[in-house]
Amino acid sequence: MSVETTASETAVSAAPARTAHRRHYLMCEPAHFTVNYSINPWMEPTKPTDTARAVEQWQKLHDLYVELGHEVELIEPLAGYPDMVYTANGGFVIDGRAYVPKFRFVERQGEAPAFADWFRGAGYDTVIPEEVNEGEGDFLLVGDVILAGTGFRSTGDSHHEVGEVFGREVVSLTLTDPRFYHLDTAIAVLDPVQGVENGGPERANIAYLPGAFDDASRAILEERFPDAILVSDEDGSVFGLNSSSDGYNVIMSPRAKGFEKQLRERGYNPIMIDLSELLLGGGGIKCCTLELRGRS
């Protein structure tokens, strides 16, 4: 008796083996979460929010990280700053050095000193910026290269500054769709560690939403990441790319069904976490997750 194998099953069986790497994250409980102003297209102050539900959903993400073996630290939420839950905007950290944000909108500017104080207290070499930037929302480390977003929040000048701070190549990308106002809403870094796996070189790779970028940026992404997963607008519009990956497990929105299938075909393990309440503020899984890389 023959057993039929679907194309999808064949693709999964042929996918490379992936390795989960232990990560170190900073998170902030959404104890004061609400939407009482609008600084992105997702925020509608007239739409009711449920703080208790936001905390419950966030707690599931936090607990999942711990269950997967990752280290999670917490920063105290400040009253009056409901967006502080989106810790990815709170800095950019490589090799124990923390580049602090300088928020574009006044509604969030009071968060920056709190993040700077936290980094200093935790022993990080803390750099106060001169240029407007929103941390890991617009800066993504892929291998040895920093992908840097501009167009809505972080300025192009911050790209030069972050390159000087970390001594790394910076690749500037321009966002053009206001729904995807931060780089981490349009690109997911799938391999946070670049190294040697299974006897051969492991190349850091990404998934991205082509329609979120201008023509020049798309050309750069196509050249640098020929094996990238191209995500549909349907999946991007439910914040499917605002995901967190340890190299094997990819924590993602349960509504991004096509992206889930693409990940499985590449050998990743998608895990669904619903952060629909926090999406009312324009943030998802990655927005709530700041990676802490090294500490001197």
Question: Any idea which residues carry the catalytic annotation?
Answer: 182, 287
- Please give the structure tokens belonging to residue 201: 């070189």
User: In the structure encoding, which two tokens stand for residue 123, read together?
Assistant: 């022993």
Residue 175 DSSP symbol: B
Are 162 and 154 a contacting pair, CB within 8 Å? Answer: no
Strand partners, 133: 102
Best CA proximity match to 88, nearest among 296, 278, 259? 278
Please give the structure tokens belonging to residue 109.
């500017």
Query: CA 129 to CA 141: how far, in whole Å?
Result: 18
- Using H for helix, E for strand and C for coil, what is the string for 228-254? CEECCHHHHCCCCCCCEECCCEEEECC
C-alpha R_g of the chain: 18
Residue 24 amino acid letter: H
Q: How are beta strands 290-291 and 24-27 bridged, if at all?
A: antiparallel
Give the C-alpha separation, 209 to 240, whole Å.
Answer: 10
Task: Show the tokens assigned to 160.
Answer: 């030069």
